[in-house]
A and B are shown apart, each in its own frame.
Chain A
Amino acid sequence: MTMRRRRFLTGAAGAAAAAAAGVTAGCGNLHSSDPDVLTFMFRGSTEERDVFSRAVAVFEERTGYEVQIISTSADQYATKLQTAILGNSVPDVFYLEPPRTMAYVTNGVLADLTPYVEATDLPVDDIWTAGLDLYRFDGEQIGKGPLYAMPKDLGPFSFGYNKTLFEEMGVEPPDPDVPLDWDEFLERCQALTGDRDGDGATDAWGTSVNIGAEIHSYVWSNGGDWLSEDARTITIDTPEFAEALQYIVDLREVHGVTPSINETEGMDGYQRWLRGQIGFFPVAPWDLTLYRTLDFEFDLCPYPAGRTGVSATNIGSLGIGVSAKSLRPDRAAELAMFLACDPEAQAIIVGEGQTIPNTRSHAAEWVKDTSIEPRNKQEYLDIVEDYGHFVPNALTYTPEWMDAFFTNIQPVLEARADVGEYLAATQPVMQDFLDSAREQFRIDQEANAR
């Protein structure tokens, strides 16, 4: 009896020990204890994972360092990374969402890459300047000072149009260099909106505005902005901002040149664009592989310009950062720089296009290739080098203030609430969030200085 019990107990203890070991191993694998193995935490689709695995394999071959890729889904990434930071097991190399740069630097999560950049043979100087500047932070403001991450990519959020639909409706296509003004844009949209098959229901529209992604373009090109220069004041209560938002609302509610609320309920603007029903629509680099399979032709054009007469749009980006606690920061930095600018790695990553080239010299070659859509690839480069801006939630300590803008916006978009009143009422709410982020920044800064 005792024998049997004892044997059972030994077995149980063994199992428990194994489970415990499993747990520790599970926690530990984000942060490699073996200095020769780098860990790289990654998020993205299976295709992207495949592409980056290939690039990492080239790195391993060239340097002889071993890299372990930890892959997570996009929506779990932030939570997982924060848990790793809390648990003091930050991966050596990881993706950095720009709105987190300030917080991560202030709290000592990110390593300063400047010395490694100065020492490397990799063409870091060839990377888009705007992309590098996004990850600079001097302790007060983003855009200046030491470099804390490499841009993994830049995603110029370009406008585009359905060439086939323009021909069908007999509308003159937009000029690739000169932006339309808002009146001209409205006229083209009106000409594009109609009932093509004659069944009495509209089946073609000028455009369809995704407020979260596109409001920036309308606001900026009209001379408005979210924040003051020093990023301390919310400036949505300006006439320029209000006019831009009103213009977007009117496109649908007054002029009917975008699908109505009811029409977007079933099939949103994106789905209708894919079906060839929308004239003007954003064409971001990560959409290209899908768009090329559609049965209409498309190309890029600048966003219509408001009062300033200059087109504007946003540039997305994701950074590749290195943990300040990495045991081999030199190798980790090497990997980050390698992925961002090594010609061989970039050739794999840019491939058939989910992203534009990360370096200027590569881009100069890439833009010449007119064999695949879009022909006007130059538009992407113009955005990166000239008229694109980063969404300013990357300039503040926490991005909550911007989320607050969108929380209650639906009634405004449906013209059930007044634009001016909404902006006036929302400005103080956002300002409060911004102020408490600022307050938090101060506290954390002091705490970490000690």
Chain B
Amino acid sequence: MSATTTTGTGDLHRSERRWGRLFIAPPVIGFALFALAPLLFSLYAAFTHWNGLSAPLFSGFANFRTMAGDPQFWQSLGNTLFLMIGVPIGLAISLILALALNRQMPGRAAFRVIYYLPGVSSVAAIAILWQWALNGDFGLVNQLLAAVGIDGPNWLAEKHWVKPALILMGVWKGIGFSTLLYLAALQSVPRTLLEAAMLDGAGAWLRFRHVILPMLSPVTFFLVVTGIIGGAQMFAEINIMTPTGGPEFGSATIVWYIWQQGFQNLQLGYATAMSLVLGLMIFLVTAVQFYLNSRNIFTVE
């Protein structure tokens, strides 16, 4: 297939275009059916009183007024934001790991597999695994801490420790994926640039700071964006590890709260309204990120 097929207008290309449309039809129809249609419906449902058992009733802005005055909504939103501390921590660790793995050393492939393993495991399995690891007394984490003389807390049952515990798990889970991407990006940093910098007298740190880091910025950007979107939608781990929203609602994320309202408390209309607000927030944050990114783009001329 040459590039001309897309711009051609003659009979020769008509069938090609038809085939082309046919081939893109499945994803487009899939998107329309399973993403766009629910989105449009949610635009309506957010303005209704809807218990999920019978038909929705229009209720104007009632759901949004409730939301503004709902302490649990704000708390779960705050919890979700707090848990995102894990994003930069995870990126820093991944970068360090990628730098280490980017050198010729024996067993590199094995390490890559080990770091990537959590990324391909089921979230439910990981959550159950960590639930045990974080157990107050005989959990692995506290046993390790005990080995260095620290008396670890009961992670999942204490208000102040449940979030750090979840961050720890999140970082561990995400590290493989980001390390792999960083590694790929590191390997594509042009050798010529590094050599030029060396000739200019740049040491290892300066080369890292002014050549490698900027070359990695597209990957960092991608990871931050997906990390924030993923973090804003954290649910399964919470529902398995702290099924009631954690000590003093300390680990209830916004999506968990949406689920709880929609499926436990017959407030599907309210839940839809919250989802809509969450979707809007994610969109805005991502838009801001794209804007900031476009202002300091780094290119090799």
Contact = CB atoms under 8 A, between A and B. Distances in A.
Given A82-B263, A410-B159, A440 B51 contact: yes
Interface string B231-268: 00000000000011101110000000001000111111
B263 A78 contact: yes
A5 B15 CA distance: 12
Contacts of B136: 265-266
A285 B7 CA distance: 75
Contacts of B221: none
A448 interface: yes
A75 B154 contact: no
Contact of B137 (A79, A265, A399): A265
Contact of B53 (A104, A265, A400, A443): A104
Query: Interface extent on B, as a size class?
Result: 20 to 34
A450 to B, nearest CB: 10
A447 B51 CA distance: 11
B137 A267 contact: yes
Interface string A378-403: 00000000000000000001111001
A370 interface: no
A165 B265 CA distance: 44
Given A265-B136, A265-B157, A266-B136, A407 B53 contact: no
A107 interface: yes
Given A103-B51, A440-B51, A447-B57, A398 B245 contact: no
Interface in A82-141: 82, 85-86, 103-104, 107-109
A107 B53 contact: yes
Contact of B57 (A16, A400, A403, A443): A443
Contacts of A400: 264-265
A113 B54 CA distance: 21
A167 interface: no
Interface string A393-420: 0000111100100111011000000000
A407 B19 contact: no
Interface string B208-238: 0000000000000000000000000000000
Nearest to B268: A86
B19 A444 contact: no
B243 A75 contact: yes
Contacts of A104: 53
B26 interface: yes
A23 to B, nearest CB: 11
A403 B244 contact: yes
Given A78-B264, A447-B57, 13 more contacts: A85-B52, A103-B53, A109-B53, A266-B137, A267-B137, A399-B264, A400-B265, A407-B248, A408-B248, A440-B51, A444-B53, A444-B54, A448-B54
Give 9 nearest A-B pairs by CB, closest first: A266-B137, A107-B53, A265-B136, A265-B154, A107-B54, A400-B265, A398-B265, A408-B248, A79-B263
